[in-house]
Amino acid sequence: MAENWVELRSDTFTKPSPEMRRAMAEADVGDDVFGEDPTVNALQERAAALFGKDAALFVPTGTMGNETAIKVLTNPGDDVVIEAQAHIVNLELGAPATISHVVLKTIPGVRGVMDSEDVAAAIRPPSPLFSHTTLVSMENTHNYGGGTVWPIDDFRAVAKVAHERDCRVFLDGARIFNASVASGIPVAEYASEVDALSFCFSKGLGAPIGSMLVGSGKFAAAARKVRRMLGGGMRQVGVIAAAAAFALENNVERLADDHANARRLAEGFAEALPGCIDPTTVETNIAIAEMGELDAVALTGKMWDQGVRMYPTGPHRIRAVTHLGVDREGIERAIDAFRSAVSD
């Protein structure tokens, strides 16, 4: 059974293709701590150009990238305005408080999208009486929002009110290429509204390791120091960077297949359990189904027994994430397993 799993817990379960492995094996390498790895240097230059920024920095993980950026863009005691269900809030183990000594000021969004008026109201100016907001953070696509793509007008509006109030703006763009492919908006257009952003190679793009920070030259220089402080100073990192470069070259446009598969999966969910999900809200590669009174852990266990893996994100909520490791046949198997589980 292990060889035939339909793996939908996350797009982090992608595995490198033979062609990607070959690129890794043939990579030209050097010591990246000294800035002498030609493969990672080329990847950083390519990423900066693609996003229309001055510089980029390769990091091992998205969490390290996010936390490095927060450290660079804030001072201890500052407020960070952020959506309440963001990855940084819920899935980074309290790192903003531990590493950067900042306060996350959370506000509710609609499927992860914050309203600019709410953001403006949450920003606090300098005062001797309370903490000062210096950073606003967005997430696009929004994981817990169900892979939501930020409408570009809303994205711009939040960035505008933040900058007007002397705040920096950071984008957790782990799945920004999903947002770009789904919306048709170039990644550089999103990047032009923010001071810095991160994006991930090891999710839908299919590389085994790695994320990238992108911003100004000053930002990247400061981030390089923080990266080393956090243990991310890697050596012959070109072996990893070659996989990321291959992913960037070959696996962006195919994300549309994952989006179509997620929509089909959501349709199957809705057919098997009416009302659990609205397929029209599935914009990218994440489908989140609400199980009503049904036990999500028990349901995923039943599907596990049928060779299908999904992730319970709450007592009555299931998340499925499509990726290059699951084809349409696998999606139909997953729908059959879901139908069996909810009718059992």
* pLDDT the model gives residue 1: 40
* C-alpha dihedral sign at 10, 15, 16, 18: negative
| Strand stretches in 18-140, DSSP E | 55-59, 79-83, 103-107, 133-139
Q: The tokens of 144 are what? A: 């817990």
Q: What is the mean pLDDT of each run of 10 residues along the chain (344 residues)?
A: 82 96 97 96 98 98 98 97 98 97 98 98 92 97 97 98 98 98 98 98 97 98 97 95 98 98 98 96 97 95 96 95 97 97 90
Q: Which helix (H) or strand (E) holds 198?
A: strand 196-200
Q: Tens digit of pLDDT for each residue in 173-191? A: 999 999 999 999 999 999 9
CA 29 to chain centre: 27
* Domain 18-250: which CATH number of 1.20.5.510, 3.10.20.30, 3.40.30.10, 3.40.640.10: 3.40.640.10
> Which distant-in-sequence residues (6+ apart) come within 8 Å of 284 by Cβ?
141, 147, 148, 149, 175, 178, 179, 181, 182, 255, 258, 259, 262
Q: What share of the chain is helix, strand, coil (3-state, %, to 5)?
A: 45, 15, 35
Q: The tokens of 5 are what? A: 């799993």
Q: How far, CA to CA in Å, does 106 sit from each of 52, 127, 135?
A: 29, 20, 12
Q: Return the residue matching tokens 């909520």.
A: 317
* pLDDT the model gives residue 256: 98
Q: The tokens of 319 are what? A: 């998340």
Pairing of strands 55-59, 317-321: unpaired
The single-letter code of the amino acid at 312 is: P
Pairing of strands 317-321, 286-290: antiparallel
* pLDDT the model gives residue 344: 79
CATH T-level fold of 254-343 = Aspartate Aminotransferase, domain 1 (3.90.1150)
Neighbours of 31 (CB within 10 A): 14
- What are the residue boundaries of the structural domains of the chain, listed by start? 18-250, 254-343
pTM of the model: 0.96
* pLDDT the model gives residue 219: 98
